[in-house]
Amino acid sequence: MSKGERISRLVTELVGEDIEPTKIDIARHPYYRAYFQCWNEQRYYEAHDVLEQLWLNTDTDDDNFFKGLIQVAGAFVHLQKNFEHPTHAKHSRRLKPAVRLFLLAEKNLAPYSPVRHALDVAALLDLVRDEREKITRSDFQKNPWSPETAPRLELNPRSGQIS
């Protein structure tokens, strides 16, 4: 089974439908919705994979928007791995890569602020900056992420919200 087929199966399991990526509004697209569902379940790697499939198979003006969301998920993969294995040889060094991904995400998402596809991009950018600054202020010694305080992303057809 190819990666695309595996992701398609995952999306169908998550949101109950799979459709052609180019035939639906992005805010209602199952892959886009699955990204947020995976995110809120703290499955950041899967969120990254799901959205990557939409990005690679959709010809829109949203390439940098998708890249930014993928980079944010990637940064949270680093934070999660660091939290789960703080003394591991590889995972203990994940805070700097997380900050680099946060910076790339900020650059890619900023043009889409304040709202894009039912997501409050401005609030997401605030979250990204806050997490990045917490890490850099600690001189890359403190990880702000924990399962109990993990941020949630919610789509709102009117304005978008982050909780």
User: Rounded CA gap, 131 and 52, in Å?
Assistant: 23
Specify the CATH class of 3-162 in words: mainly alpha
The predicted model gives 128-153 an average pLDDT of: 97
pLDDT at 158 over 90: no
- Let me know: does 145 contact 76? Beta carbons within 8 Å: yes
pLDDT at 77 over 50: yes
Give the pLDDT confidence of 31-51 residue by residue, as tens digits. Answer: 999 999 999 999 999 999 999
With bands split at pLDDT 50, 70 and 90, how would you rate the model's confidence at 159? low
pTM of the full structure: 0.84
pLDDT of residue 58: 80
pLDDT of residue 3: 63
161 forms beta bridges with: 154
Burial of residue 20 (CB within 10 Å: 0-12, 13-18, 19+) is: exposed
Judged by phi (left if over 0) then psi (alpha if -120 to 50, else beta), residue 117 lies in left
